[in-house]
Amino acid sequence: MQPATMDPAEEPPSMLWGLDPIFCAFARLYVRDILQMTESIQVPGIYFYNLHPIYKVDVLGTVVYKREREDFFCYGVDDGTGVINCLCWKNDLFKEEADPTKSGGKHSDGARGGFNPVAELALLRQAQQSRCRLEIGELLRVRGPVKTSRQQREIMASTFYKVNDPVMAVQIAWMMEVPQLYRQCYDKPLQLQPNATGDSALSSLSKATNIIKEFLKQKSVTRFRPYDVQDLLQPLISSQPQTASADLEPVAGPSACQQLRQLLKEALQILQDEGIVYCKVKSQDDVYQVTAHDTDLLIAVKDVIREDSQREKYAEKGCHILHILSAVRQRHSLNVSKATLELVLKSLECNSDIVSTSDDHYTAF
């Protein structure tokens, strides 16, 4: 919890910072914590609260110190836990304050009643000024990146404004909310590692399925056996030890073949679940049919729909997908899955061989 005592070696690698949602948010930290956060050694300007990388914050507090310069205000903001300097730049609208305001006033007198852009601009400027110029004791809301200048933490305001809070409703709401934010986000350690490894395992599987899909499409394969595509996945296995943890490497040698088979099995299972391939006949030595290139299946489905659409029962509404499925299973192969059939129906519909009459009903003319 004490950020000042964090070991520099524990600093999470900068590559993972973006994965922490707090990194992109304006963190509503207590000023005390903003002052105590450790600065990153890798990238100055990034700070760590509880190993969460933070560079911009959101603060609400009472102004207890002010200094005005030509270009900026410097406000000391006290939120009850600490006091921090906030550097608030005056914008251009603010700086042109002297003469235009007076002339704007005259214009509005002249054009009474109508919409006067000059007067409106003057009003806008006045409103802006009243929100930017704060006195000691007033409430200020500041958002912006944290900077360290002359060994002092400060907030470079990207947005700042005076908060009108006559009955402290805003302050009370803030005081109630911030502890909850700490409990739910800032004080919870970020767990990247399990997700990261999960992702890489997932990605090698999705890579494998993509490789097989690409191969089937390019070569217009109609049917294949698992060992026909096994070699395609070889690069994924040999490259894996580099990305996975190093201590797996000695074990990887003998089990590479098993890994390959396992990966292939999983990839084929996914393709099967998606309906892209199916086994026409279940046997020891599986032969996979490629749905997209299986003209026999295409014809079988087309025939079923054309014939059954003639029957009185289906004439009006068309054949339901489950009816087509059972008919195709009888006629073609018991192992045709619904996903496979859906793919076939989609391609038939694209060729205008069949027409869908509702979500699950098809007919042919």
Partner 1 sequence: MLPAAAVFHFPWEVNSGAVREGESVRVFGRLVCYQPEESRATLSAQHASKEHHVAVHTLFVEPFNPIIGAQYIVLGEIENAEGVGAMVRARVLNCVDGVNVALLQKAINEQRSFFREREHTCDDAQAT
For partner 1, the binding residues (CB under 8 A) are 1-2, 31-32, 62, 64-65, 76, 78-85, 136-137, 166-169, 171-172, 175-176, 178-179, 182-183, 187
Query: Residue for token digits 């251009």?
Result: 92
Residue 1 or 98: the one with the smaller Cβ distance to partner 1 is 1
Residue 36 or 230: the one with the smaller Cβ distance to partner 1 is 36
The CB-of-37 to partner 1 minimum distance in angstroms stands at: 15
The CB-of-24 to partner 1 minimum distance in angstroms stands at: 24
The CB-of-82 to partner 1 minimum distance in angstroms stands at: 5
Residue 137 or 250: the one with the smaller Cβ distance to partner 1 is 137
* 290, 276 contact by CB (below 8 A): yes
The CB-of-20 to partner 1 minimum distance in angstroms stands at: 20
Alpha-carbon span 37 to 51, nearest angstrom: 10
Residue 19 or 172: the one with the smaller Cβ distance to partner 1 is 172
The CB-of-182 to partner 1 minimum distance in angstroms stands at: 7
Pick from 74, 70, 71, 78: which is nearest to 86 by CA? Answer: 74
The CA–CA distances, whole Å, from 314 to 310, 319, 327, 332, 356 equal 7, 6, 14, 21, 13
User: At 176, which helix (H) or strand (E)?
Assistant: helix 169-181
* 38, 48 contact by CB (below 8 A): yes
Residue 82 or 104: the one with the smaller Cβ distance to partner 1 is 82
Residue 190 or 297: the one with the smaller Cβ distance to partner 1 is 190
Alpha-carbon span 160 to 131, nearest angstrom: 9
The CB-of-359 to partner 1 minimum distance in angstroms stands at: 53
* 153, 84 contact by CB (below 8 A): yes
The CB-of-9 to partner 1 minimum distance in angstroms stands at: 18
DSSP 285: S
Helix (H, G, I), strand (E, B) or coil at 319: strand
* 62, 137 contact by CB (below 8 A): yes
The CB-of-174 to partner 1 minimum distance in angstroms stands at: 8
Single-letter residue type at 59: V
- DSSP per-residue codes, 112-147: -SS--HHHHHHHHHHHHHHHH---TT-EEEEEEEEE
Backbone angles phi, psi at 87, to 5 degrees: -95, 115
Alpha-carbon span 257 to 361, nearest angstrom: 46
Alpha-carbon span 128 to 269, nearest angstrom: 63
Residue 20 or 78: the one with the smaller Cβ distance to partner 1 is 78
The CB-of-170 to partner 1 minimum distance in angstroms stands at: 11
Q: Which residues neighbour 139 within 8 Å (Cβ) at sequence distance 6 or greater? A: 60, 61, 62, 63, 162, 163, 164, 165, 170, 171
